[in-house]
Amino acid sequence: MFQNAVHSANWIRNAIAAAALTCGVAHAQLTNCKDPGPPDVFKIFVDEVRATGGSTGSARVREKVQGIHKFLSENLKASSGDIASVRDCGKRFPSDSADFDNKEFDGLDNLRVVLEVWGMLDDPVKGSGSLGFALVPARPIAPPAVYVVPSANLLNSLRQGKQMSAFAPLVLGIRQYQNKNYADAVPLLCAGTQQLNSVLTGQSALGDDAFRTRQRELMKKVKEITDSAIREARRTPGSPFGLWNPTSDGTFLCPD
């Protein structure tokens, strides 16, 4: 009986240790950003761009991967202007969208991160791969707010880079709205919406059907807060939004 009790106790200790190890591995998969930046500014994290397959160590592939990373960083800097600081996060790289759980989002939110971006080059010859985006302020309105966008030409398509920069003004607008800075939120929400809508339709629509479906769901929520932001901004005496007239259904149209 004593031996059975000892065996049972050992089994329990081993099970607890294994569980602790598993939890440690799960939380260790997503390393901290190497340069998170100052605490008082909005930030965009640019993670590592990686290549898969056997040729990942070649100088040519490394050059392509670095080129994608540089292009993403520069494009996001241009699209966010001086509202957010774009940070190079070094080797930080999500192994799966599920890495962005509530705990991870809370940590990003506390750091004032509004957007996180990473990339994967699947075929260095064809240039195919995917880009991942975590839209931190969008999680409450369109969970889980993590999107992986496949592309047949990830490397050479400047068009895709410009389109994906739509996420920067969009998340900044959502954050300004959440902070009740309605007049600041409106132009950002309008700019992000117009840019993203332009890539969800037509023969050159970005991503696959699943991505576009989720984006349309996000756009419905963004439309609601854009209308709300305009109505709130119009309450301020002398606001330029006072000149914006609602449509027949009480909503508003962003200017072209």
98 close to 92: Cβ distance less than 8 angstroms: no
Alpha helices in the chain (DSSP H): 2-28, 59-80, 102-110, 158-164, 167-178, 182-197, 209-233
- Residue 151: pLDDT over 90: no
- Residue 5: pLDDT over 60: no
Distance CA 146, CA 98 (A): 9
pLDDT at 58: 83
- Residue 157: pLDDT over 70: no
Distance CA 169, CA 76 (A): 9
* 144-163 average pLDDT score: 72
- The string of pLDDT tens digits covering residues 88-143 is 999 999 988 999 999 999 999 999 999 999 999 988 888 888 889 999 999 999 99
DSSP designation for 33: P
- The mean pLDDT of the chain is 84
Q: How far is CA 70 from CA 30, 48, 74, 119, 238, in A?
A: 21, 10, 6, 11, 42
DSSP designation for 140: T
Q: CA 101: distance to chain centroid?
A: 13
pLDDT at 29: 65
Query: What values do phi and psi take at 239, rounded to 5?
Result: -65, 135
- Is there a cis peptide before residue 144, judged by omega within 30 degrees of 0? yes
pLDDT at 9: 42
Task: Compare 162 and 2 and report the one with higher pLDDT.
Answer: 162
DSSP designation for 165: T
Prediction pTM value: 0.84
Least confident of 89-93, 208-212, 240-244: 208-212
- Residue 156: pLDDT over 50: yes
Quick one: tokens of 155?
A: 């490397």
* 151-168 average pLDDT score: 67
pLDDT at 164: 64
pLDDT at 150: 83
- The string of pLDDT tens digits covering residues 13-46 is 443 333 333 333 334 468 999 999 999 999 999 9
The domains of the chain are located at: 2-243
pLDDT at 16: 36
